[in-house]
């Protein structure tokens, strides 16, 4: 593989090469996206080919057309493998990118990080995570985008339509350099099959949350969020760390694999069931789970010993989670916390394995007899919910982990509905956002703030960790009681972050912080850059945050004024950030819970040590967090009312409409 700096720069600047490269096959050493549904009519297939060919000179069409037709047939998509670059794909130090604008170079770095094979799930199909979370739809879009970024000035903005670079438009230095939209469709055309069709045509893509917004930072983000959830769930049931509390859950996959590590950090005994032995062994080898047990009786006696001995230990049960819930009920084992992270957003194609079948048997049946498989999944879900219900009747605290467990269980006819339903409380059990993440974090403005050191140096990351610890410790010393616990949890996290060695790809860090914390940390970074102590830093966040995402069963599930199905907040957020100084902004349909189910957005901002950076960060971060707090406060969420009043005292110019509570018994009037 040729990879000299000058060759790399020349390739980037060339965009689509001037002579036709040799054909390439997907490299079998990488993981590849599954074949997609054959959804286009013959007429639409012709249109998909025409759409793909418009990126290339006419003289190449007769060569490329049959090749692209074959890709469409073999994979259900046209990825244009022939145009995959020769150079290695990873986040280089920012000064290695050929660019006229440092902001544009920072975006190139972030794009390459999202496509780095060490980071991305299916790198050659340009998918970063979540099975279909795409950065681009095809390699022509990647090449053109990088070329535009290499030549753009700070008097231009690049507009990205679902991976397609529409082009550079004249703008001004304070405007975002890039504006990204992914999967934005007319609402009536937002069913999953609409996505399959538009994506196969090459006109839309599923950007997930941080895939199509160039802000993915590998697995550390999920560990932090999961730790916060488990830690606070234990507090909710009044259990101290290292007191032998028991947490039962399922899934050791992509995100769910963070559960045992979080259980250990929170100081409990955790049992995570996993039907796929390859997944449980991988997590064990990686040190993410302490012990593997494949016999249910052995599990029962090990758990009794661990809880009695007040151990902190994570155990993977190699089998079905339903067996665990049923065995613990039979054996009288008290479960303090319960949840589930099987992939129930995708129940019929391997997201959930029914208890009646072995793992291999299930894999065969879902392909060969999908109707029978469907029935067995639903029967298993009813058994699953029955067993959980028996535990919760004894006091277990069970929560839905944003994986659609309650939704699918209810569709299967399981007893999970709230006997006295109210708006937003249709189910018997809460979601993790309703009870934990929403009222304890999002309502106060705490969310997954993150940064990337663009020098690529580990010592820069270490320096930023120290700066963030210092800033947070100063803030915690004078924090009001309502948020002191959050501050202290985050200080503990950042102090241990380096030791946890969770960097994969770019030198990145995640930290839950509120508006004041994010601004003060960013100002301190900018000062350190100005003094030459560290290189430029990119700021960003997950879309799963205070203001970025409208998602009625997840991020906004703790909104009870009926507005949880509206998406004004996410749209306002991206517009508001864009004219307050973001370096790039993005807004997506889908992400986390599926196409049509959510609107989510985010930003990236380059800090370069200048006064301009200082002005932009203060203005934009204040809005980026407080937009969501204002909306949560208008929905009468107590924590958010407290947080927005506090922010108004601190921030001149901020004046938010506050809700008036009524004491009247209004039901008499209806
Ligand atoms: N971690 C988080 O913070 C978070 C937040 C929101 C939503 N989620 C949701 O959690 C779910 C899991 O995400 P993931 O990335 O880990 O998915 P994944 O598909 O990689 O992992 C799920 C695992 O569950 C296992 N499994 C399925 N059925 C089982 C059963 N009956 N018993 C035991 N194991 C079983 C599968 O073998 C698989 O390894 C998704 O629906 C995701 O949207 C996670």
Give the pLDDT confidence score for residue 3 in this predicted structure: 61
Measure 341 CA to ligand 1 centroid, in angstroms: 4
Report the C-alpha gap between 216 and 486 in whole angstroms: 24
Give the pLDDT confidence score for residue 288 in this predicted structure: 87
Give the pLDDT confidence score for residue 6 in this predicted structure: 86
Mean pLDDT for 632-661 is 97
pLDDT tens-digit readout, 380-422: 999 999 999 999 999 999 999 988 899 899 999 999 999 998 8
Is the pLDDT higher at 317 or at 129?
317
* Closest residue to atom 31 of ligand 1, CA basis: 353
pLDDT tens-digit readout, 441-462: 999 999 999 999 999 999 999 9
Measure 94 CA to ligand 1 centroid, in angstroms: 35
Q: Which residues pair with 167 in a beta bridge?
A: 159
Give the pLDDT confidence score for residue 31 in this predicted structure: 82
Measure 493 CA to ligand 1 centroid, in angstroms: 24
What rounded mean pLDDT belongs to the chain? Answer: 94
Task: Answer yes or no: is the C-beta of 320 below 6 A from any ligand 1 atom.
Answer: yes
Report the C-alpha gap between 156 and 234 in whole angstroms: 50
In 331-394, which residue ranges form alpha helices assigned H by DSSP? 359-368, 370-393
pLDDT tens-digit readout, 11-67: 999 999 999 999 999 999 888 888 888 999 999 999 999 999 999 999 999 999 999
Task: Answer yes or no: is the C-beta of 347 below 6 A from any ligand 1 atom.
Answer: no
* Closest residue to atom 37 of ligand 1, CA basis: 276
Give the pLDDT confidence score for residue 34 in this predicted structure: 80
Instruction: List the one residue out of 77, 64, 33, 67 whose CA is nearest residue 198.
Output: 77
Buried b (16+ CB within 10 A) or exposed e, 472-506: beebbeebeeebeebbebbbebbeebeeeebbebb
Confidence of residue 313 (pLDDT cuts 50, 70, 90): very high
Task: Answer yes or no: is the C-beta of 279 below 6 A from any ligand 1 atom.
Answer: yes
Dihedral-angle region of residue 562 (phi above 0 means left; psi in -120 to 50 means alpha; beta otherwise): left
Task: Answer yes or no: is the C-beta of 276 below 6 A from any ligand 1 atom.
Answer: yes
Atom of ligand 1 nearest to the CA of 259: 1
The answer, yes or no, to whether residue 2 has pLDDT greater than 70, is no
The residue to mutate among 206, 252, 255, 362, having the most atoms of ligand 1 within 8 angstroms of its beta carbon, is 255
Give the pLDDT confidence score for residue 495 in this predicted structure: 87
Task: Answer yes or no: is the C-beta of 227 below 6 A from any ligand 1 atom.
Answer: no
Task: Answer yes or no: is the C-beta of 252 below 6 A from any ligand 1 atom.
Answer: yes
Tokens of 221: 């983000």
What percentage of the chain exceeds 90 in pLDDT?
A: 83
Q: The whole model's pTM is what? A: 0.91
Task: Answer yes or no: is the C-beta of 251 below 6 A from any ligand 1 atom.
Answer: yes
Report the C-alpha gap between 589 and 599 in whole angstroms: 5
Measure 260 CA to ligand 1 centroid, in angstroms: 13
Measure 256 CA to ligand 1 centroid, in angstroms: 5
Task: Answer yes or no: is the C-beta of 158 below 6 A from any ligand 1 atom.
Answer: no
Task: Answer yes or no: is the C-beta of 343 below 6 A from any ligand 1 atom.
Answer: yes
Instruction: List the one residue out of 428, 367, 429, 432 whose CA is nearest residue 403.
Output: 432
Any idea how long the chain is?
A: 670
In 439-514, which residue ranges form alpha helices assigned H by DSSP? 458-477, 481-497
* Closest residue to atom 26 of ligand 1, CA basis: 342
CB atoms within 10 A of CB 216: 31
CB atoms within 10 A of CB 166: 12
Dihedral-angle region of residue 445 (phi above 0 means left; psi in -120 to 50 means alpha; beta otherwise): left
Task: Answer yes or no: is the C-beta of 551 below 6 A from any ligand 1 atom.
Answer: no
Give the pLDDT confidence score for residue 1 in this predicted structure: 52
Give the pLDDT confidence score for residue 544 in this predicted structure: 94
Is-contact 454 109, C-beta < 8 A? yes
The answer, yes or no, to whether residue 328 has pLDDT greater than 90, is yes
pLDDT tens-digit readout, 217-250: 987 878 889 999 999 999 999 998 899 999 999 9
Instruction: List the one residue out of 430, 446, 443, 441 whose CA is nearest residue 337.
Output: 430
* Closest residue to atom 23 of ligand 1, CA basis: 251
The residue to mutate among 228, 253, 271, 318, having the most atoms of ligand 1 within 8 angstroms of its beta carbon, is 253
Q: What is the DSSP string of 518-554?
A: HHHHHHHHHHHHHTTSS--EEEEE-SSSTTTEE-TTT
Give the pLDDT confidence score for residue 367 in this predicted structure: 78
Residue 146, classed as helix, strand or coil, is helix
Give the pLDDT confidence score for residue 121 in this predicted structure: 84
Measure 106 CA to ligand 1 centroid, in angstroms: 33
Give the pLDDT confidence score for residue 468 in this predicted structure: 97
Tokens of 396: 């277990």
Is-contact 260 289, C-beta < 8 A? yes
Measure 407 CA to ligand 1 centroid, in angstroms: 15
* Closest residue to atom 20 of ligand 1, CA basis: 253
The answer, yes or no, to whether residue 117 has pLDDT greater than 80, is yes
Mean pLDDT for 297-302 is 98
* Closest residue to atom 39 of ligand 1, CA basis: 253
- Beta pairing class for 537-541 and 425-427: unpaired
Residue 228, classed as helix, strand or coil, is helix
Buried b (16+ CB within 10 A) or exposed e, 364-389: ebbeeeeeebbebbbbbbebbbbbbb
Give the pLDDT confidence score for residue 501 in this predicted structure: 74
């Amino acid at each position: 593989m040729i990879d000299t700096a000058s060759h790399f720069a020349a390739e980037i600047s060339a965009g689509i090469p001037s002579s036709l490269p040799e054909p390439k096959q997907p490299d079998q050493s990488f993981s590849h996206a599954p074949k997609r549904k054959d959804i286009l009519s013959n007429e639409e297939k012709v249109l998909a080919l025409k759409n793909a060919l418009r990126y290339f000179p006419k003289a190449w069409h007769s060569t490329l057309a049959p090749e692209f037709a074959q890709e469409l047939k073999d994979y259900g998509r046209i990825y244009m493998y022939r145009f995959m670059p020769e150079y290695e794909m990873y986040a280089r130090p920012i000064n290695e990118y050929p660019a006229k604008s440092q902001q544009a170079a920072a975006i190139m770095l972030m794009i390459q990080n999202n496509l780095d094979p060490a980071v991305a799930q299916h790198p050659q199909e340009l998918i970063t995570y979540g099975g279909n979370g795409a950065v681009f739809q095809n390699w022509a879009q990647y090449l053109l985008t990088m070329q535009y970024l290499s030549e753009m000035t700070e008097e231009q903005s690049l507009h990205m339509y679902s991976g397609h670079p529409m082009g550079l438009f004249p703008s001004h230095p304070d405007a975002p350099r890039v504006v990204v939209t992914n999967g934005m469709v007319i609402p009536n055309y937002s069913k999953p099959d609409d996505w399959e069709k538009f994506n196969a045509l090459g006109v839309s893509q599923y950007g997930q949350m941080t895939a199509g917004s160039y802000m993915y930072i590998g697995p550390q983000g999920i560990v932090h969020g999961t730790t916060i959830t488990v830690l606070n769930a234990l507090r909710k049931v009044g259990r101290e760390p290292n007191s032998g509390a028991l947490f039962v859950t399922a899934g050791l996959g992509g995100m769910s694999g963070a559960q045992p590590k979080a259980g250990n950090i929170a100081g409990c005994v955790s049992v995570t069931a996993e039907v796929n032995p390859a997944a449980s062994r991988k997590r064990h080898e990686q040190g993410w789970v302490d012990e593997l047990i494949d016999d249910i009786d052995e599990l029962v006696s090990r758990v009794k010993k661990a809880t009695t001995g007040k151990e902190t230990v994570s155990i993977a049960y190699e089998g079905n989670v339903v067996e665990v819930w049923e065995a613990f009920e039979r054996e009288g084992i008290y479960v303090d916390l319960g949840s589930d992270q099987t992939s129930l957003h995708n129940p019929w194609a391997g997201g959930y394995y029914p208890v009646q079948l072995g793992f291999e048997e299930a894999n065969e049946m879902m392909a060969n007899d999908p109707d029978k498989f469907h029935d067995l999944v639903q029967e298993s879900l009813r058994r699953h919910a029955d067993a959980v219900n028996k535990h919760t009747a004894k006091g277990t605290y069970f929560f839905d982990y944003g994986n659609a467990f309650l939704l699918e269980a209810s569709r299967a006819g399981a007893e999970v509905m709230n006997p006295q339903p109210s708006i937003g409380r249709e189910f018997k059990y809460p979601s993790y956002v309703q009870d934990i993440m929403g009222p304890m974090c999002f309502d106060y403005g705490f969310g997954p703030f993150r940064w990337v050191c663009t020098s690529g140096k580990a010592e820069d990351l270490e320096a930023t960790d120290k700066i963030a610890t210092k800033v947070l410790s100063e803030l915690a010393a004078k924090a009001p009681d309502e948020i002191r616990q959050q501050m202290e949890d985050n200080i503990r996290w950042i102090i241990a972050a380096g030791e946890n060695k969770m960097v994969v790809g770019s030198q990145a860090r995640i930290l839950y912080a509120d508006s004041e914390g994010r601004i003060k940390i960013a100002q301190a970074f900018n000062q350190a850059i100005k003094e030459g102590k560290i290189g430029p830093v990119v700021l960003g966040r997950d879309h799963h945050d205070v203001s970025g995402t409208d998602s009625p069963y997840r991020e906004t599930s703790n909104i009870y004024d009926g507005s949880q199905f509206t998406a004004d907040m996410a749209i306002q957020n991206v517009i508001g950030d864009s004219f307050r100084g973001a370096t790039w902004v993005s807004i997506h349909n889908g992400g986390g819970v599926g196409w049509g189910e959510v609107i989510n957005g985010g930003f990236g901002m380059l800090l370069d040590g200048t006064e301009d950076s200082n002005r932009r960060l203060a203005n934009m971060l204040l809005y980026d967090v407080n937009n969501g707090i204002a909306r949560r406060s208008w929905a009468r969420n107590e924590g958010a009312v407290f947080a927005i009043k506090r922010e108004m005292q601190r921030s001149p110019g901020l004046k938010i409409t506050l809700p008036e509570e009524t004491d009247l018994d209004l039901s008499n009037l209806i």
